[in-house]
């Protein structure tokens, strides 16, 4: 008997799994929508703590204000926000200040909910042809999403950090494009992430999951779009380089304290070390065929080396655990996401000791990195190539090799092999039971 929860057993009549009656909305998405609304109401009462930075930066960049324009970062190094974020913030400028703020909060909250849908669909595409049970995937996204939403509302509503929101949103789209085999989109979206928030460079190892020929093209898009966004500021005002050395206080609860860094401010080496460590761990993850861990590892590098301990930092960690729990492994219970929420957010609420909270951050970052990089993963049922021979599992290699006529051809994630050995892209409309 066919398993109604798998792609192979899905009916060809277009009926999709997990819908609410005849409505197009799926049950887990409806529950996550309600969960998001509840957290929005809780956070909105004391929300938009940092929205004024976005409004100020947008006015300086596009308004006739002395010290603004291309001199923005030279004169205001405290605005550690990418130009793309200021462009998007400008969409809310025509509204009265209070109305624009609420609309921005709602917009950012909606992006988080949409990201959950994207991750679910990406997981469904990634595991296509491996006997995936879609009901179990929906349950996994629901449980992981329940942990993700509180931290997303923290960054989107309580702090209103549009720059962090956009960086994580574009990165999620890049993961989606990677699995669907659109190399150009991967490069463009990762560039937009960096142009929204500079620390997003830690996500660039996702490029390494692409085959080498298209990887170079995607990398060229990243370099070109990042240069187009940032070089005008640096070339016209050399003092902009000073913005890279902007420091913040080294808080007592920072994990840096456990490395013996007791400086009152940010050490000179800290920012480069964060980016270098994040990219190195991400490259190692791709080399070990665990590209779904790239986002989590970059977030780990950020929280373990950052002198600040703002709770909105945890949103990047929870996005990383969401991607890992949905795509990187197939356990029904996404316990990595909940360990992250309890460790990083729960400790902030329940543990008064700054030193203990710093140790917990350090332990989570190190433990989660070791787990996603080295813990043995279950081998999935292999995808079958055109000759019937077993290929590598989706979990082991997102870029599978399929035997061709006298050669080996690479197939991007989200592509199906044709009988001639070439790659054939798969569109989401071909699926009758995706996860989203």
Is pLDDT of 355 > 50? yes
Lowest mean pLDDT among 67-76, 123-132, 268-277, 395-404: 395-404
Helix (H) or strand (E) holding 410: strand 408-411
Q: How much is the pLDDT for 201? A: 97
Instruction: Provide mean pLDDT across the span 370-396.
Output: 56
pLDDT tens, residue by residue, 45-92: 887 889 999 999 999 999 878 888 999 999 999 999 999 999 999 999
Question: Could you write out the three-class secondary structure of 87-135?
Answer: HHHHHHCCCCHHHHHHHHHHHHHHHHHHHHHHHHHHHHHHCCCCCCEHH
Q: How much is the pLDDT for 393? A: 40
Instruction: Provide mean pLDDT across the span 130-152.
Output: 92
More confident residue, 21 or 129: 129
Lowest mean pLDDT among 142-151, 277-286, 313-322, 330-339: 330-339
What does the alpha-carbon distance between residue 9 and residue 82 come to, in Å, rounded to a whole number?
46
Q: How much is the pLDDT for 23? A: 52
- Res. 298 pLDDT band, cuts 50 70 90: very high
Instruction: Provide mean pLDDT across the span 356-371.
Output: 97
- Res. 377 pLDDT band, cuts 50 70 90: confident
For residues 411 and 401, the answer to whether their CB atoms sit within 8 Å is yes
For residues 82 and 194, the answer to whether their CB atoms sit within 8 Å is yes
- pLDDT over 70 percentage in the chain: 81
Name the one residue in this structure whose structure tokens are 């460590």.
Answer: 277
Q: How much is the pLDDT for 380? A: 57
Instruction: Provide mean pLDDT across the span 367-384.
Output: 78
Is pLDDT of 13 > 50? no
End-to-end CA distance of the chain: 25
Q: Where are the alpha helices (DSSP H) in 306-422?
A: 314-323, 335-340, 347-350, 354-374
pLDDT tens, residue by residue, 200-248: 999 999 999 999 889 999 999 999 999 999 999 999 988 888 888 888 9
Q: How much is the pLDDT for 240? A: 87
What does the alpha-carbon distance between residue 120 and residue 294 come to, in Å, rounded to a whole number?
17
Q: How much is the pLDDT for 45? A: 82
pLDDT tens, residue by residue, 404-433: 323 333 444 444 444 334 444 443 333 233
Instruction: Provide mean pLDDT across the span 166-181.
Output: 98
Q: How much is the pLDDT for 293? A: 98
Name the one residue in this structure whose structure tokens are 């456990």.
Answer: 258
Domain boundaries, the chain: 27-374, 387-427
Is pLDDT of 187 > 70? yes
What does the alpha-carbon distance between residue 273 and residue 305 come to, in Å, rounded to a whole number?
8
């Amino acid at each position: 008997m066919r398993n109604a929860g798998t792609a192979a057993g899905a009916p060809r009549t277009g009926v999709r799994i997990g819908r609410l009656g005849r409505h197009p909305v799926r049950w887990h998405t409806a529950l996550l929508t309600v969960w998001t609304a509840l957290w929005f109401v809780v956070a909105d009462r004391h929300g938009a703590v940092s929205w004024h930075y976005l409004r100020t930066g947008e006015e300086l960049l596009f308004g006739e204000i002395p010290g603004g324009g291309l001199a923005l970062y030279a004169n205001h190094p405290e605005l550690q926000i990418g130009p793309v974020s200021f462009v998007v913030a400008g969409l809310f400028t025509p509204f009265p200040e209070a109305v624009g703020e609420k609309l921005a909060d709602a917009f950012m909250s909606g992006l988080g909910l949409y990201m959950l849908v994207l991750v679910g669909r990406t997981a469904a595409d990634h595991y296509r042809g491996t006997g995936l049970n879609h009901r179990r995937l929906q349950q996994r996204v629901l449980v992981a999403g329940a942990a993700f939403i509180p931290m997303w509302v923290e960054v989107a509503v309580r702090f209103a950090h549009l720059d962090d929101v956009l960086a994580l949103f574009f990165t999620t789209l890049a993961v989606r494009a990677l699995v669907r085999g659109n190399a150009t989109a991967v490069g463009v979206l990762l560039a937009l992430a960096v142009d929204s928030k500079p620390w997003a460079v830690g996500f660039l190892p996702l490029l390494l999951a692409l085959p080498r020929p298209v990887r170079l093209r995607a990398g060229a898009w990243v370099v070109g779009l990042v240069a187009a966004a940032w070089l005008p500021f640096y070339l016209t005002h050399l003092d902009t380089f000073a913005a890279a050395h902007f420091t913040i206080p080294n808080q007592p609860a920072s994990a840096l304290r456990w490395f013996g860094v007791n400086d009152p401010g940010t050490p000179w080496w800290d920012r480069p070390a964060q980016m270098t460590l994040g990219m190195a761990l991400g490259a190692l993850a791709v080399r070990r065929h665990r590209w779904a861990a790239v986002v989590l590892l970059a977030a780990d590098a950020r929280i373990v080396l950052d002198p600040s301990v703002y709770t909105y930092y945890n949103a990047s960690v929870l996005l990383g655990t969401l991607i890992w729990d949905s795509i990187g492994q197939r356990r029904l219970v996404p316990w990595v996401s909940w360990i992250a929420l309890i460790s990083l957010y729960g400790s902030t609420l329940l543990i008064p000791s700054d030193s203990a909270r710093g140790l917990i951050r350090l332990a989570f970052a190190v433990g989660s990195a070791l787990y996603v990089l080295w813990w043995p993963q279950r081998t999935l049922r292999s995808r079958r190539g055109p000759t019937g021979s077993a290929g590598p599992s989706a979990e082991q290699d997102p870029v599978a090799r399929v035997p061709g006529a006298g050669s080996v051809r690479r197939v991007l994630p989200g592509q199906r092999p044709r009988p001639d050995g070439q790659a054939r892209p798969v569109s989401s409309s071909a699926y009758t039971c995706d996860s989203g």
